[in-house]
């Protein structure tokens, strides 16, 4: 029987010039629960929805710490995220041991994209089925990067990944020019509003189903320097610590289910259907 080689191997282009295995990996990212990232002149944040594989299981982790000055949220296969996050931690540790300094964000992202791209061109391997939003701080300020299974990495002012992420992108595109001057509290609220737009109508946002991560000024400072005393290192905020932000959300305005995400800021949303891709 004739076998479509280009559909089962990532090293062969289809007659239309496509790599089907890479497209399948991108689809895995689209099936993951949403992650939203924003940055101002001083801080970078991530907000994400956590899902549980069943009613008997706890919520999965959506944020991973890489170093004091960098961390990430992911959408897609949790196992692939674990492997790549360990690789990023090894790079960060090597920089501190060899050069006695935290790794620059641009170098970390470049190495990550090279590793992912290698899997799209070598026989016997498959693309990673996970996408990242990476936040961090270095000498030039806060940064937000998107990592794709294709090996592409781009820097953004704001970005969203995962299921129904287009609604969040629409929200962010209309307001991104105001993010640079925002305080941390306002930035977190905007992230929650964008995250809410990825969810189904008529649902409520559950406190335990949200993760927030923050990184701020001097997170990359040397531990012996005076700046390190007030450094806002990468941290993950969950549970009761999120309540004071959720209480500030305005009621969600009713709208027709158009899927455009064209809503005013405010309101509550909830976790959608259980996502089989994420473990």
What is the distance between the alpha carbons of residues 234 and 238, in angstroms, rounded to a whole number? Answer: 13
Query: In this structure, are residues 4 and 12 in contact, taking their beta carbons and an 8 Å threshold?
Result: no
Query: In this structure, are residues 26 and 124 in contact, taking their beta carbons and an 8 Å threshold?
Result: no
Residue 273 backbone dihedrals phi, psi, to 5 degrees = -65, 155
33-248 CATH = 3.60.20.10
Residue pLDDT tens, the chain, 279 long: 345 667 777 778 888 888 888 888 999 999 999 999 999 999 999 999 998 877 878 888 899 999 999 999 999 999 999 999 999 999 999 999 999 899 999 999 999 999 999 988 888 888 999 999 999 999 889 999 999 999 999 999 999 999 999 999 999 999 999 999 999 999 999 999 999 889 887 776 788 889 999 999 989 888 778 878 888 999 999 989 999 998 888 877 765 444 444 444 544 333 333 344 454
CA 264-163-63 angle, to 5 degrees, is 95
Residue 94 backbone dihedrals phi, psi, to 5 degrees = -60, -40
Residue 262 pLDDT: 43
Residue 278 pLDDT: 52
**What pTM does this model have?**
0.85
* Pair of tokens at residue 160: 């969203």
Q: What is the domain partition of the chain in residue ranges? A: 33-248
What is the distance between the alpha carbons of residues 221 and 7, in angstroms, rounded to a whole number? Answer: 48
What is the distance between the alpha carbons of residues 53 and 78, in angstroms, rounded to a whole number? Answer: 12
What is the distance between the alpha carbons of residues 127 and 22, in angstroms, rounded to a whole number? Answer: 6
Query: In this structure, are residues 237 and 244 in contact, taking their beta carbons and an 8 Å threshold?
Result: no
């Amino acid at each position: 029987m004739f076998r479509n080689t280009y559909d089962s191997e990532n090293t062969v282009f289809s007659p239309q010039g496509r790599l089907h295995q890479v497209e399948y990996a991108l689809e895995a990212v689209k099936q993951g629960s949403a992650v939203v990232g924003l940055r101002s002149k001083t801080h970078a944040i991530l907000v994400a929805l956590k899902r549980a594989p069943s009613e008997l299981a706890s919520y999965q982790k959506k944020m991973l710490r890489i170093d004091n000055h960098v961390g990430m949220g992911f959408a897609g296969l949790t196992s692939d995220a674990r492997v790549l996050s360990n690789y990023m931690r090894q790079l960060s540790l090597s920089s501190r041991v060899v050069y006695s300094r935290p790794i620059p964000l641009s170098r970390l992202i470049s190495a990550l994209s090279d590793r992912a791209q290698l899997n799209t061109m070598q026989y016997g391997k498959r693309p990673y089925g996970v996408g990242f939003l990476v936040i961090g701080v270095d000498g030039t300020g806060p940064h937000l990067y998107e990592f794709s299974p294709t090996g592409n990495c781009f820097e953004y002012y704001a970005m969203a990944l995962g299921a129904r992420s287009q609604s969040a992108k629409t929200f962010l595109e209309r307001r991104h020019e105001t993010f640079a001057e925002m305080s941390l509290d306002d930035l977190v609220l905007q992230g929650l509003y964008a995250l809410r737009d990825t969810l189904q109508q008529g649902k409520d946002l559950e406190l335990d189903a949200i993760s927030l991560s923050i990184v701020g000024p001097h997170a990359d400072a040397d531990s012996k320097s005076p700046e390190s005393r007030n450094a806002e290192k990468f941290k993950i905020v969950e549970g009761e610590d999120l309540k004071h932000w959720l209480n500030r959300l305005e009621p969600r305005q009713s709208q027709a289910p158009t899927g455009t995400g064209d809503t005013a800021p405010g309101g509550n949303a909830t976790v959608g259907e259980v996502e089989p891709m994420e473990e």
